[in-house]
Amino acid sequence: MITNYSVNGMTCEHCVHAVTEEVSAIAGVDEVKVSLDDKAMAVTSAAAIDFDAIKAAVEEAGEYVVAQA
């Protein structure tokens, strides 16, 4: 399953790397694709990932705001 999110506040590739790294560490996440240009993130997993876990990981990466797309 692929779940799409918007991520605001990213300004560079370092931001993309930080968000990707933190979200990838969530149990059950298989793949994370983050687009700086689109301010978007696609999370691939076998089962639904709790949004609070996604939000906490994105906030751990930096001062970013995530929302379900």
Distance of CA 16 to CAs 11, 12, 47, Å? 8, 7, 24
- Residue 46 tokens read as 């076998």
pLDDT digits (tens, 9 = 90+) for 45-67: 999 999 999 999 999 999 999 99
Which domains are delineated in the chain? Answer: 2-68 (3.30.70.100)
* Structure confidence at residue 69 as a pLDDT band (50, 70, 90): confident
Whether pTM exceeds 0.75: yes
**Given strand 29-35, what is the order of strands in its sheet?**
29-35, 40-45, 2-8, 65-68
